Amino acid sequence: MLGLAFAAHAAQRGTHVTLLEKEQTWAAHQTGHNSGVVHAGPYYRPGSLKARMCAAGNASMIAFAQDHGIPYAVPGKLIVATDEDELDGLHELHRRADANGVPCRLIDGIEASEYEPEVYAVEALRVETTGIIDYPAVCRELAAIAIRHGAELRTGARVAAIHDTAEGVVVEYEGGEARGSILVNCAGLQADRVALLAGVEPEVRIVPFRGEYYELRPERRDLVRGLIYPVPDPQLPFLGVHLTRMIDGSVHAGPNAVLALKREGYRWRDIDLRDAVDALTYPGFLRMASRNLETGVREVARSLSRSAFAASLARLVPRIDARDIVRAGAGVRAQAVRRDGTLADDFVIQRSRHQLHVLNAPSPAATSALEIAAYLFAETGVSA
């Protein structure tokens, strides 16, 4: 999605753009396998790129949907503390939300039940501007805009080699070659490998985490009106298993977070030897895993047990049990990990002479795609 947003932004400003996509369709991976949420921004460290771009991106993505007839809704969401131990974390989110300019307020459990009658909350943060949207439809519209303004969009174009030259960059791909004054790498799950192909040592490496979803059976969808989230673990970049009423009225539950043994592997049986070896032998992953062993075991158990997954949901909505949920696919998150085992907690954009590499763009990157595109375009130094 970031590549399409950049192509549309640059092409509208008179810059010739060639976009290479290794798949045959748009939104084949992270963008097409997420929760469809337009985030408001209460989670992110004030002053970070995530915080700045999410606040602006929430408004620009909703405006884009309005301008182009893309399905969306703004139901708001509840972030729910289910016991006293979570109140400090909830209050910290409130402080961050205020600093980030996010419209929200703390409410008690009684008022929370006015928004979500089935929720259990000691206290909750009501976030007014959280929305939902059809991100694949956004991608299709961005592609159409880019093409209308002269961009060349080439699908089925897996990159094979990249050469930095005195004048710019040459990219060899399956079926041809592309030349340009600057390379912008928005390759998501493959971003670090594209950087390596370009002769750049990435400051982070991608470790893929599969997030599995369930959904409520149609007859139980009335248990959830909008979006219900737990208070997240501040030591991890994941927001926790949550409930989201989608554009089509279905209610998705998830995702969990388990190591994927293939960068684009959406099932346990999807294994790629190179991807698995890269992840399991990377010192950063080994250090990260050793610090979070208990959490990792818990996530695997939840992946393998529908009852365990339902139990996590029941902390938020007690009437949910294992009979109420059915599997509903998965996504893979491109988690950027540093060599010391720390997780990148902000967008990471690495520069070299004729290149910009977006090495970490997890949630809220979809929400912020139009803002990130404008930021990258400014960073290229190309005249508008």
Burial of 292 (0-12, 13-18, 19+ CB in 10 A): middle
State residue 362's pLDDT score: 87
Q: Give the amino acid at 4.
A: L
Positive or negative, the CA dihedral 145, 146, 152, 153 is negative
pLDDT per position in the chain (384 positions), as tens?
Answer: 999 999 999 999 999 999 999 999 999 999 988 889 999 999 999 999 999 999 999 999 999 999 999 999 999 999 999 999 999 999 999 999 999 999 999 999 999 999 999 999 999 999 999 999 999 999 999 999 999 999 999 999 999 999 999 889 999 999 899 999 999 999 999 999 999 999 999 999 999 999 999 999 999 999 999 999 999 987 766 778 999 999 999 999 989 999 999 999 999 999 999 999 999 999 999 999 999 888 888 889 999 999 999 999 999 999 999 999 999 999 999 999 999 999 998 999 999 989 999 999 988 999 999 999 999 999 998 765
Q: 124 and 109 in contact (C-beta within 8 Å)?
A: yes
Using alpha carbons, select from 200, 203, 204 the residue that is nearest to residue 183: 200
Backbone angles phi, psi at 226, to 5 degrees: -140, -115
Instruction: Give the separation between CA 220 and CA 237, rounded to whole angstroms.
Output: 30
Cis peptide before 234 (omega within 30 of 0): no
Positive or negative, the CA dihedral 256, 257, 261, 265 is positive
The token pair at 275 is 């991807």
pTM for this one? 0.94
Instruction: Give the separation between CA 366 and CA 57, rounded to whole angstroms.
Output: 9
Backbone angles phi, psi at 64, to 5 degrees: -60, -45
State residue 237's pLDDT score: 64
Backbone angles phi, psi at 5, to 5 degrees: -60, -40
**Residue 110: count of CB within 10 angstroms of its CB:** 8
